[in-house]
Amino acid sequence: DAGVTQSPTHLIKTRGQHVTLRCSPISGHKSVSWYQQVLGQGPQFIFQYYEKEERGRGNFPDRFSARQFPNYSSELNVNALLLGDSALYLCASTQVGGGLQTQYFGPGTRLLVL
């Protein structure tokens, strides 16, 4: 069975641009969470979606938005990119929402903002 997949694997953008990151959860998993991981830090929670509804939001500005599709895949959008948005963006899936289940992480998208 395929694990969590994310695309693209790497991305280079310039300040002010917009980016869309994509995630497909493990088959049968209905919840997706997004995290930002800066080098040397642990993952920071951005969003959690379950059954296409937002179930949790971390302390990130409104430039960050996400959505979940009927097939449970998800997109993370970041507008007006800043240099500080350079990070590894991780997607994790669980069977149901809630957050007390083991998170299965994808390989991440490494975003570099110049």
Which residues contact other proteins by CB under 8 A?
4, 35, 40-45, 48, 50, 55-56, 58, 90, 97-100, 102-108
| Shortest Å, Cβ 101 to other proteins | 9
Residues 18, 2: Cα–Cα separation, whole Å: 29
Using CA of residue 105, residue 14, residue 41, residue 55, what is the dihedral sign? negative
Phi/psi at 27 (5° precision): -55, 130
| Shortest Å, Cβ 96 to other proteins | 10
- Both tokens assigned to 68: 């979940």
Cβ nearer to other proteins, comparing 55 with 67: 55
Contact between 107 and 9 under an 8 Å Cβ cutoff? The reply is yes
Cβ nearer to other proteins, comparing 9 with 17: 9
Cβ nearer to other proteins, comparing 71 with 100: 100
